[in-house]
Amino acid sequence: MITGNINMDIIFGVLFLLILINTILVVVLFKKLSHIRKSQKVLNELFSGESVEELLYKVLEQQEIISNEALDIKKQILQLENKQKYCFDRISLVRYRGTQEDGAKLSYSIGISNENEDGLIITGIHFRNGVNLYFKHVKEGMPDIELSEEEKKVLARTKVNEVYSE
């Protein structure tokens, strides 16, 4: 019978220890829960009574809107980059004497091209009686008509985007 009391004492001791541990855990959990409630109350006051779930849904909706806008902006940038390839963005100028009689460099050649090296060369040759203008088309860096030396200089400088005047 002594062994029975010892076993019962051990069982009661273990049960008491488990109840004590359980009580401590419950107290700790209640403290954490009260801290969470205080934090939630502060959040609710800051966000005019909206719940955290509502705020998260709003943030997710805004994030989706921003993502869509970013995609639209990327598309617009790609369109602009493609369009830019065909816009004239390179120019070069060479001034020279059109005839031996001219003392000043009144004649000129202007080269205008884009990224694809498509463009034109405008040449103005000054004479005593006026100016003759010539336009020559350039496709992929190759002119449609034979070029003068000055026009060749302009074309070469336009290819490397060098604005220069002689």
Tell me the C-alpha distance between 43 and 51, whole Å. 8
User: pTM for this structure?
Assistant: 0.55
Q: Which token pair is 73?
A: 């902006």
From first to last of its 166 residues, the chain has per-residue pLDDT tens of 456 567 888 888 899 999 999 999 999 999 999 999 998 888 777 777 677 788 889 899 999 999 999 999 999 999 999 888 888 888 889 888 877 766 677 889 999 998 888 999 999 988 888 888 999 999 988 898 898 888 888 888 888 776 665 5
The residue ranges of every structural domain in the chain are 2-82, 90-159
